[in-house]
Amino acid sequence: MSFSRLLTPRILLDTTAVFPPSSSVVAPSLSRQLRCTRTGGSPPAPPHRLVARRAMSNGAAEPAIYGGGGGAQQAASSAAARRVTLATLRGKHRRGEPISMVTAYDYPSGVHVDAAGFDICLVGDSAAMVAHGHDNTLPISLDLMIEHCRAVARGAARTFLVGDLPFGSYEASTAQAVGSAVRVMKEGGVNSIKLEGSAPSRISAARAIVDAGIAVMGHIGLTPQSVSALGGFRPQGKTVESAVKVVEAALALQEAGCFAVVLECVPAPVAAAATSALTIPTIGIGAGPFCSGQVLVYHDLLGTFQTSHAKVSPKFCKQYGNIGDVINRALSKYKQEVETQSFPGPSHTPYKLAATDVDAFLNALKMKGLNVAADAAADAVEYTDEKEINGTPQLKVYA
């Protein structure tokens, strides 16, 4: 029996008072095919043309000194054939298969997420916290979010990319919301955008963006951009009234045309109710196991930050690695080898003058009166010829 089929008998929340049988809102089972339910029209097609360029190279090969070049373009072309699309996500949801999602903020994290085979990669406004050191997500700008999206898109050719609309980029009007979404899509190279909240203005913004032909992911429960109004990063849906509002909000976002909804920091029964009520996927973060998929922050799950930064690692996050400790050890070892002059050794000093040019170079220096420089060059020749004593290069440092 699929996991989605186990959800229905677990739902204890009575929503008949909120959604009477005559209501136009229907709560079908999760096994029904995913679709963006819109009143009076069919769902917009995913903007394939806007994202097709992600598989393309800039046409310039990497210098041989760094490797890469044509291989990167071939990898991107290969990935394009199996790129995750909205149709892929709809198929997984229809079959009851969990959807995997994680954040990324730059080219290296985009490469890692893509290689790991995630379905969705969110370029989140949490970059303000984990990449720029702020205490919340509010300071990051639309321009900076676009730069993060560009970087991730260069590294993630296969996964479905979602770009966050940052605080202040869509609240003023639907025109502002559409304009910001278009910029993130065109300039950031993502497949869709995400916005937070379920107030009437946010629902209108979501609907307008969908009408503009852009796929939208909603986000309810704890919405970090509303940290001021919420009084901090606090879980939501813990009372009957607020729990019902979470389900109502999810349905409203679905009605606006969203293809998925993030449920953050809500009790598991509330997330289960919302998941069962919707025909689109729910992506949980701190919302229990009954969602259609899960998302975590890249830095949190990898254990990037140490104890002094524990405030950015929420208690619902499982740490799958201790990358911060690995990084610290590597940096300390590098610093030590620099200070003891054991790095770089001959094996990491690969570039040499041709043997026939060494004497000519030394003589040219001496003819210019650069005798000390010639002596330094002669010593370097011996060093790069791997003349070591007891495995440790004997260096003469010229100040």
Q: Any binding-site annotation on 385? A: no
| Burial group, residue 316, by CB count within 10 angstroms (0-12, 13-18, 19+) | middle
Question: CA 285, CA 296: separation in Å to the nearest integer?
Answer: 6
Locate 310 and state its tokens. Answer: 């524990």
Q: Any binding-site annotation on 143? A: no
Q: Any binding-site annotation on 194? A: yes
Question: CA 214, CA 286: separation in Å to the nearest integer?
Answer: 27
DSSP letter string, 148-177? HHHHHHHH-SSSEEEEEPPTTSSSS-HHHH
* Nearest of 85, 34, 3 to residue 281 by alpha carbon: 34
Q: Any binding-site annotation on 375? A: no
Question: CA 293, CA 335: separation in Å to the nearest integer?
Answer: 42
248 catalytic? Reply is no
CA dihedral 202, 267, 226, 98 (to 10 degrees): -60
Question: CA 290, CA 284: separation in Å to the nearest integer?
Answer: 8
Question: CA 337, CA 365: separation in Å to the nearest integer?
Answer: 31
β-partners of residue 293 are 99, 283
Question: CA 110, CA 164: separation in Å to the nearest integer?
Answer: 15
User: For residue 48, what is the enclosing H or E element?
Assistant: helix 48-51
* Nearest of 156, 124, 103 to residue 296 by alpha carbon: 103
CA dihedral 271, 275, 276, 280 (to 10 degrees): 170
Question: CA 164, CA 104: separation in Å to the nearest integer?
Answer: 11
Q: Which of 62, 264, 337, 388 is catalytic?
A: 264
Q: Any binding-site annotation on 125? A: yes
Binding residues for Mg(2+): 125, 164, 196
Binding residues: 125-126, 164, 194, 196
Binding residues for 3-methyl-2-oxobutanoate: 125-126, 164, 194
Looking at the annotation, which residues are catalytic?
264
